[in-house]
Amino acid sequence: EVQLVESGGGLVQPGRSLRLSCAASGFTFDDYAMHWVRQAPGKGLEWVSGISWNSGSIGYADSVKGRFTISRDNAKNSLYLQMNSLRAEDTALYYCAKSNRWELLRAAFDIWGQGTMVTVSS
Amino acid sequence: DIVMTQTPLSLSVTPGQPASISCKSSQSLLHSDGKTYLYWYLQKPGQPPQLLIYEVSNRFSGVPDRFSGSGSGTDFTLKISRVEAEDVGVYYCMQSIQLPLFTFGPGTKVDIK
């Protein structure tokens, strides 16, 4: 069964850091690009960041550029999101999503995890 | 950046009746490779989004044939031929032709009358 399981969310103070992880199973992880998409409470979907199959191509939303870093470990079938300098507006459910292609762009998110909640508050 | 708009933002449908959602992009989603990179997702209550349609009109694996997508350039439509109770949720269109953003539409909430 194809599965994505996120972890690492929680309550964090503004300005602090958090690292999210996504464990993939049921497919050949290093054949596909991977992404993070977030959803603030009661709001719509916002793409956060994506990484190509070999980490050669990476992209970020303007709202997180310079603060968040995406990475992957193909040997561990895992995706990560290092979030620094967190702000209240980063509060959201963070989804890990599998691309249907190896490259970053021109792709769909065909498998989604259940998400991990990040709350930034003092 | 490409801006995606959807109409209507909410829709109440009688079971068995059709439904239609419009999505418009601020720039053409037609790539030089001839494909158009417009997608539709459904987020059922309490669940992550699920892919319904890719590249305008292709149903993803397992998606019922009552769902269909159409359109070109900047104007797109998702149609449900006969709405069922399990189709309730929020429908999002998304473009993936241009960085720095994969852009989602604001969502259309569909419920049953």
Sequence-ordered list of residues with C-beta below 8 angstroms from that of A106, at least 6 positions apart, any chain = B31, B33, B35, B37, B96, B97
How many residue pairs bridge chain A and chain B with CB atoms within 8 Å of each other? Answer: 65
CB pair distance less than 8 Å for B104 and A45 = yes
Q: Are A22 and A114 in contact (CB under 8 A)?
A: no
Dihedral of CA B6/B10/B15/B18: which sign?
A: negative
Pick from A38, A32, A22: nearest CA to A81: A22
**CA-to-CA distance for A75 and A107, rounded, in angstroms?**
23
The reply to whether residue A105 touches residue B98, judged by beta carbons under 8 angstroms, is yes
Check if A46 contacts B (Cβ < 8 Å): yes
Measured between alpha carbons, how far is B86 from A2 in angstroms, rounded to an integer? 23
**Facing A60 at nearest CB: one of B39, B98, B100:** B100
Residues of B in contact with A36 (CB under 8 A): none
What pLDDT, on a 0 to 100 scale, did the predictor assign at position B100? 67
Strands A109-112 and A3-7: unpaired
CB B13 within 8 A of CB B102: no
| Confidence band, pLDDT 50/70/90 cuts, at residue B106 | very high
pLDDT tens digit string along B42-100?
999 999 999 999 999 999 999 999 999 999 999 999 999 999 999 999 999 999 998 76
pLDDT digits 0-9 by tens, B19-33: 999 999 999 999 999
Q: For the residues A80-108, what does the mean pLDDT come to? A: 97
Q: Is A59's CB within 8 Å of B50's CB? A: no
Average pLDDT over residues A108-120: 98
Q: Positive or negative, the Cα torsion across B7, B1, B73, B70?
A: negative
